[in-house]
Amino acid sequence: MNFHTEESPSSKAWNLDTKKHTSFPIHGDSVVTCLILDVPYDVIVTASDDHTITVYTLSTGQLKFNLIGHQGGVWCLSSVKHDGQNLLASGSSDKTVRIWDLASGKCLHIFRGHTSTVRCLVVVYPTLIESSMNDKDLYPKLPLIVTASRDKSVKVWSIPGKDEHNFVADEGADASDNPHHLFNLTGHTQPVRGLSAHGRTAVSGSYDHTVRVWDIISGECRHVLIGHSKKGKLQFHDHPVFLAQLTLLVYAVVYDPIRDQVYSTGMDGTIIIWSAKSGVCLHTLTGHQSLIGLLELSSSNLSPYLISGCADATLKVWDPITGTLVHTLSGHPGAITCFYHDEKRVLAGGDGLLRMWDIQTGTVIKDLLKGMTAVWQVAFDGQWGVCASSDVKSIEGRQIQQSMLHIWDFGESDSKW
């Protein structure tokens, strides 16, 4: 989930005419499943279904580390800042959660207890939240990791401090044997695919067609939100990412702490806005013609945008307060597979195209990449933009699929972009 305030460095203007663009191969012909851009620490992190995580220096593009250890595809990543440590948390189809030291490239901790693929992972930092006495207190007291899995569960973990011993769970160990395991949140009856969290609230979306709102401090399920249809309209495209979305991206969920609202998408092609306090459906947003696999809130300020990306090859920009459709961004040749945004612009990728849009007017600014087979992931911050794509390369007379990492240095400009 992206929260960018008005002062966010992501909203700085870019000089599109003098941008510096470099690219190089990564992860062979495998899908790039995750991408992290960390400008303050000068790193880019990518993960893949080839079981590996790679760390690059942003400013030079040089490889820093290959993080080896997962025995399955890596499907979720999050950077973690805790107790003076610059860490990385990862979840994999090998059923483990791993915590890595980005200063040394070492795996410090291995958590076990999930019995299937760890598909979602969110780090929750201490936040001032109003208590029952109308005072404010920090929840949680220390950063937590929340994970969701195809095993139908959501788990809450504490993060070891820098002076704590490395914790490496034995093969087949139960989560209850881990002193850092806090809660096993159960109730979903099908795999959990969507996860969002802030403060003491986590929201999960499942193939069981429900959304659950959890208190991760007490372990209580506050609400079970039922409203998405079990039937949806699907449009089949000859595209490997879209075909994966049919089985994986059934739900996306976003928790909005500013308005205390939950946003969820389903295979039924709708977006539902819920009150996290009462569990009541506030709005049902319609207009997409297929599975909505991507949903993000653009800003935490008083004039936010809710953006949805769909298999019908469009993005839509909504007002999350009223549920009004603001813009439909169309023109992509196929399913939207990734996007990233702030209060000014959105970079969206799909079949063969990475396009920049003006989020406020709904108009195209520029096409940054054309002609690739697929765009896997995209992110930007300050003057930097990064993208993972796939293309067909000719090597020794053979045509092979190759994943690529693109880095743009846009500098700064006096123009609006």
pLDDT digits (tens, 9 = 90+) for 356-411: 999 999 999 999 999 889 999 999 999 999 999 998 877 777 888 999 999 999 98
Kindly state whether residue 315 falls inside one of the protein's structural domains: yes
Any domain includes 204: no
316 within domain boundaries: yes
- Which pLDDT belongs to residue 261? 97
**Contacts of 231 by beta carbon, 8 Å cutoff, 6+ apart:** 267, 268
Residue 358 lies in a domain: yes
Answer yes or no: is 102 within a domain. no
Query: For 25-36, what is each residue's pLDDT tens digit?
Result: 999 999 999 999
Q: How far apart are CA 214 and CA 201, in angstroms?
A: 6
How many whole angstroms separate alpha carbon 316 and alpha carbon 70?
36
Does 354 fall in a domain?
yes
- Angle, CA 168 vertex, CA 183 and CA 31 arms, to 5°: 85
Q: Residue 227's CB: how many other CB atoms inside 10 A?
A: 15
- Contact partners, residue 7, CB within 8 Å, separation at least 6: none
220, burial (CB in 10 Å: exposed 0-12, middle 13-18, buried 19+): exposed
pLDDT, position 102? 97
pLDDT higher than threshold 60 for residue 238: no
Q: Each residue of 242-291: pLDDT tens digit?
A: 443 443 344 799 999 999 999 999 888 899 999 999 999 999 999 999 88
Mean pLDDT, all residues of the chain: 89
CA-CA distance, 298 to 258, in Å (whole number)?
Answer: 12
Residues of the domain holding 362: 230-381
What's the pLDDT tens digit per position in 315-365?
Answer: 999 999 999 999 999 999 999 999 999 888 999 998 889 999 999 999 999
- How high is the pLDDT of residue 337? 95
Q: Distance between alpha carbon 291 and the CA centroid of its chain, in Å?
A: 17
CATH number at residue 370: 2.130.10.10
Percent of the chain with pLDDT strictly greater than 70: 89
| pTM > 0.85: yes or no | yes
Provide the token pair at 146: 């929340």
Helix (H/G/I), strand (E/B), else coil: 5: coil
Please choose, from the candidates 192, 168, 159, the residue with its C-alpha nearest in 3D space to the C-alpha of residue 89: 159
- pLDDT tens-place string over residues 208-227: 889 999 999 999 999 999 98
Residues 164-213 have pLDDT tens digits of 999 999 998 999 999 999 999 999 999 999 999 999 999 999 998 899 99
Q: What is the pLDDT of residue 12?
A: 61
Domain count, the chain: 1
How far apart are alpha carbons 194 and 252 in whole angstroms?
5
Q: Report yes or no on 46 lying in a domain.
A: no
Confidence at residue 146, expressed as pLDDT on a 0 to 100 scale: 98
Q: pLDDT tens, 73-131?
A: 999 999 999 999 999 999 999 999 999 999 999 999 999 999 999 999 999 999 998 87
13: three-class secondary structure by DSSP = coil
